């Protein structure tokens, strides 16, 4: 109980010290908040893009286009062979006539298409594989390319692989940015605590003279760094939440034009707790480094 009371007393003293220097404290908190909001905002945007990609991608498909002039019997044989394939769940046959009809309905170029002397589209099969992973889809695609009477084999979700590669690049960029800014935030707290130690040098010397331990002297500085980091994390959360609110207002206007319901994802409870915990830890770490480096230099004279 006495241990808890002592920590609460130090916490109260640290909060009062923050309030006694409102301008400097607010500036440091704002700098930490802005720095943290950059990688957090990038993380949220990547999550939103990944979610949009998953919605658009749907079930992976492989489109197989037959060579022109393939006979009905050969088409039937290829269809049976596809149905019996172990890696294929189901298939759909799209005749050249049906493909042309769909093209007329979706493009609005019916007059131009009616003027064609012959149907330029081939017969095709749409294949739904059993496995959705990239490696299996590529193996199946490469195998189908070796079959006779198949003019072209297209993996319709190939663009998703490019999107995934782009997302991986974005994650790496956000991770590097977060790492660099983390070191910067530690440096900010390190310098703040160093200045406090120097301005309270005489007080620390007196405390050591009357028998105060290093742990006792170190405690308020560690609390200061932790609280400053936590408040910086709260500032970052508010900045990201406010920015997402403004962006979602503009995104909703855009998506209405495309009859879509897409919106940028907000920070989840788990993400928010991680942000606050990480920012508090960075503040504590910066304070610990600073105290460890400077406190031992101060000895009673």
Q: What digits encode the pLDDT tens for the residues 77-136? A: 999 999 999 888 888 888 877 876 776 666 555 555 555 656 667 888 888 888 777 778
Highest mean pLDDT among 209-223, 243-257, 280-294: 280-294
Separation of alpha carbons 94 and 9, rounded Å: 77
Domain ranges of the chain: 2-56+161-297, 59-156
Averaged pLDDT, 13-26 = 77
Separation of alpha carbons 62 and 138, rounded Å: 10
Separation of alpha carbons 149 and 71, rounded Å: 10
Averaged pLDDT, 210-237 = 86
| Percent with pLDDT over 90 in the chain | 16
Q: Inform me whether the pLDDT recorded for 213 exceeds 70.
A: yes
Look at residue 215 in the predicted model and tell me its pLDDT: 76
Q: Inform me whether the pLDDT recorded for 276 exceeds 90.
A: yes
**Residue 124, helix vs strand vs coil:** strand
Q: How many helices (H) and strands (E) does the chain have?
A: 10, 4
Look at residue 12 in the predicted model and tell me its pLDDT: 74
Separation of alpha carbons 275 and 36, rounded Å: 8
Q: Which residues of 191-207 are buried (b: 16+ CB within 10 A; e: fewer)?
A: ebbbebbeebeeebeeb
Q: Inform me whether the pLDDT recorded for 209 exceeds 90.
A: no
CATH of domain 59-156: 3.30.70.3040
Residue 94: beta bridge partners?
A: 124
Look at residue 234 in the predicted model and tell me its pLDDT: 95
Averaged pLDDT, 13-38 = 83
CB 9 within 8 A of CB 159: no
Residue whose tokens read 């493009």: 107
Separation of alpha carbons 121 and 116, rounded Å: 11
Averaged pLDDT, 12-20 = 74
Q: Inform me whether the pLDDT recorded for 163 exceeds 80.
A: no
Look at residue 267 in the predicted model and tell me its pLDDT: 86
CB 179 within 8 A of CB 36: no
Dihedral sign, Cα of residue 40, residue 281, residue 291, residue 212:
positive
Residues 6+ apart with CB under 8 A from 67: 122, 149, 150, 151
Tally the C-alpha atoms within 13 A of residue 222's C-alpha that lie toward its C-beta.
14
Averaged pLDDT, 13-22 = 74
Helix (H) or strand (E) holding 115: none
Enter the DSSP assignment of 118.
S
Residues 6+ apart with CB under 8 A from 257: none
pLDDT level of residue 230 (50, 70, 90 thresholds): very high
Summarised one tens digit per residue, pLDDT across range 232-268 is 999 999 999 999 888 887 777 766 655 566 677 888 8
Look at residue 248 in the predicted model and tell me its pLDDT: 83
Tally the C-alpha atoms within 13 A of residue 187's C-alpha that lie toward its C-beta.
8
Q: At what angle do helices 158-199 and 201-209 cross, to 10 degrees?
A: 70
């Amino acid at each position: 109980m006495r241990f808890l009371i002592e920590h609460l007393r130090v916490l109260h003293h640290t909060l009062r010290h923050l309030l006694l220097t409102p301008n400097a404290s607010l500036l440091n908190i704002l700098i930490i908040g802005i720095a943290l909001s950059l990688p957090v905002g990038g993380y949220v945007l990547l999550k939103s893009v990944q979610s949009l990609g998953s919605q658009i991608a749907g079930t992976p498909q492989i489109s197989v286009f037959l060579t022109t002039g393939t006979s009905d019997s050969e088409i039937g044989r290829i269809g049976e062979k596809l149905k019996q394939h172990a890696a294929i769940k189901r298939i759909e046959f799209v005749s050249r006539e049906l493909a042309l009809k769909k093209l007329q309905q979706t493009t609005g170029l019916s007059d131009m298409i009616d003027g064609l002397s012959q149907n330029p589209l081939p017969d095709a099969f749409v294949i739904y594989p059993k496995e959705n992973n990239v490696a299996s889809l590529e193996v199946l695609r490469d195998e189908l390319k070796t079959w006779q009477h198949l003019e072209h084999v297209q993996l319709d979700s190939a663009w998703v692989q490019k999107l995934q590669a782009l997302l991986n690049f974005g994650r790496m960029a956000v991770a590097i940015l977060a790492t660099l800014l983390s070191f910067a935030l530690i440096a900010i707290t390190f310098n703040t605590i160093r200045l406090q130690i120097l301005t309270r040098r005489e007080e620390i010397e007196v405390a050591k003279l009357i028998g105060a331990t290093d742990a006792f002297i170190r405690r308020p500085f560690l609390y200061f760094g932790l609280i400053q980091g936590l408040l910086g994390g709260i500032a970052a959360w508010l900045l990201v939440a406010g920015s997402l609110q403004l962006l979602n207002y503009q995104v909703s206007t855009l998506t209405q034009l495309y009859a879509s319901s897409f919106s940028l994802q907000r920070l989840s409870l788990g993400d928010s707790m991680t942000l606050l915990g990480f920012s508090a830890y960075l503040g504590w770490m910066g304070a610990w480094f600073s105290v460890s480096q400077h406190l031992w230099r101060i000895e009673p004279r």
